[in-house]
């Protein structure tokens, strides 16, 4: 039981008396072994002696770890939608929302780096850039933002390239959602459902009308209405990530080109126009 501190009382260290701590782990694995902390904490290898390079590495690695979880949760959500199990998907959508929040939050940490801090180690990066993040492309493909050209940068890594190609050709979350809408009696053009999934999705008026009917009949099809709003959350958060990335980059490198070979901020600005679930935005013009 916790007793409140009395006025003037000071606790200098935790009293372990009465705790049955496993000081000896016996045959059991330890915390560090289970989490492979030997690998994880050996993976920060700055190429310079610059103090701020560690921040740069850790922020990227933390982002990649959150992306790892995002891919895992998105794969499960896609599976749920395919099986018409929306209730189970909603729990994962909530988690996805928080994970995306963590991805957005890293920009505040990175923004403590000034242009001089960054330029002190920038040359050591060579041509490496987030543009080559395989997980980022896999997530874009899971969500339906298909652009076959982008995987070319992975052609030197056969395994990564094959995985990206598979993801490119697979139906995305939105493709599965459209099939679900059709199963639930909404009019979705056949061409939107069985198509070459490696190609960018093209919005259609019928799908906008289908979403409108979901919003207008929310009482009847509450789960579809909830699904629509979860998709909006994902799209909105993704946009926020892109925007914060662009503004952080602008703050740190101005309008200089990126290490990946693009013009930098002006390239990142183009992606701000992307919409993962276009008809959900379009439908809002008629609500």
Q: Which of 58, 104, 260, 281 binds ligand HEM (CB under 6 A)?
A: 260
Q: Which of 170, 262, 269, 275 binds ligand HEM (CB under 6 A)?
A: 262
Q: Which residues, numbered 34-63, are part of the site for ligand HEM (CB under 6 A)?
A: 59-60, 63
Rounded to a whole number of angstroms, the minimum distance from the CB of residue 27 to ligand HEM is 39
Host H or E run for residue 112? none
Q: Which residues contact 155 (CB under 8 A, 6 or more apart)?
A: 161
Q: How far is the C-alpha of 187 from the C-alpha of 213, rounded, in Å?
A: 10
In angstroms, give the least distance from the CB of 172 to ligand HEM: 16
Q: Which is nearer to ligand HEM, 134 or 181 (CB)?
A: 134
Token pair 């709003």 in the structure block, residue: 229
Q: Indicate the residue among 131 and 281 with the shorter CB distance to ligand HEM.
A: 131
| Choice from 52, 264, 277, 279 touching ligand HEM (CB under 6 A) | 264
Q: Is 240 in the site for ligand HEM (CB under 6 A)?
A: no
In the range 65-124, which residues lie near ligand HEM by CB under 6 A?
110, 118
Contact pick of 133, 182, 239, 240 for ligand HEM (by CB under 6 A): 133
The Cα 268–Cα 124 span in angstroms is: 22
Residues 142, 75: Cα–Cα separation, whole Å:
8
Residue 48, helix vs strand vs coil = coil
Number of residues binding to ligand HEM, judged by CB under 6 A? 23
Contact 201, 191 (CB under 8 A): no
**CA 78 to CA 231: how far, in whole Å?**
12
Does residue 246 interact with ligand HEM by CB under 6 A? no
Q: Does 141 bind ligand HEM (CB under 6 A)?
A: no
Rg (CA), the chain: 23
Contact 223, 212 (CB under 8 A): no
CB-side neighbour CA atoms (13 Å) of 243: 8
Asked if 239 is part of the footprint of ligand HEM (rule: CB under 6 A), the reply reads no
Only one of the segments 84-92, 160-168, 214-222, 266-274 lies at the binding site for ligand HEM (rule: CB under 6 A); that segment is 266-274
271 binds ligand HEM (CB under 6 A): yes
Please provide the distance, in angstroms rounded to a whole number, between the alpha carbons at the two ends of the chain.
54
Binding residues vs ligand HEM (CB under 6 A): 59-60, 63, 110, 118, 129-131, 133, 136, 245, 249, 252-253, 258-262, 264, 267-268, 271
């Amino acid at each position: 039981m916790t007793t409140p501190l009395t006025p003037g009382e000071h606790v200098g260290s935790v009293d372990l008396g009465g705790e049955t701590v496993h000081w000896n782990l016996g045959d059991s694995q330890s915390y560090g072994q289970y989490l492979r902390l030997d690998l994880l904490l050996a993976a920060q290898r700055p190429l310079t002696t610059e103090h701020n390079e560690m921040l740069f590495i850790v922020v990227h690695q933390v982002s990649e770890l959150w992306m790892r979880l995002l891919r895992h949760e998105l794969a499960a959500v896609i599976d749920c939608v395919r099986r018409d199990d929306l209730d189970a998907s909603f729990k994962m959508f909530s988690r996805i929302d928080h994970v995306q929040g963590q991805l957005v939050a890293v920009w505040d940490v990175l923004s403590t780096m000034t242009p001089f801090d960054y330029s002190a180690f920038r040359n050591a990066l060579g041509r490496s850039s987030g543009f080559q993040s395989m997980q980022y492309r896999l997530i874009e493909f899971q969500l339906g933002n298909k652009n076959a050209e982008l995987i070319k940068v992975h052609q030197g890594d056969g395994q990564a390239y094959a995985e990206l190609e598979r993801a490119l050709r697979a139906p995305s979350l939105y493709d599965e959602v459209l099939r679900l809408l059709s199963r639930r009696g909404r009019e979705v053009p056949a061409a939107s459902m069985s198509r070459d999934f490696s190609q960018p999705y093209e919005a259609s008026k019928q799908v906008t009308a289908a979403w409108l009917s979901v919003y207008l009949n929310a009482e009847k099809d509450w789960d579809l209405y909830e699904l629509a709003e979860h998709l909006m959350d994902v799209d909105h958060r993704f946009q926020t990530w892109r925007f914060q990335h662009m503004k952080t980059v602008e703050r740190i490198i101005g309008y200089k080109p990126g290490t990946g070979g693009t013009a930098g901020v002006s390239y990142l600005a183009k992606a701000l126009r992307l919409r993962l679930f276009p008809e959900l935005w379009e439908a809002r013009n008629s609500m």
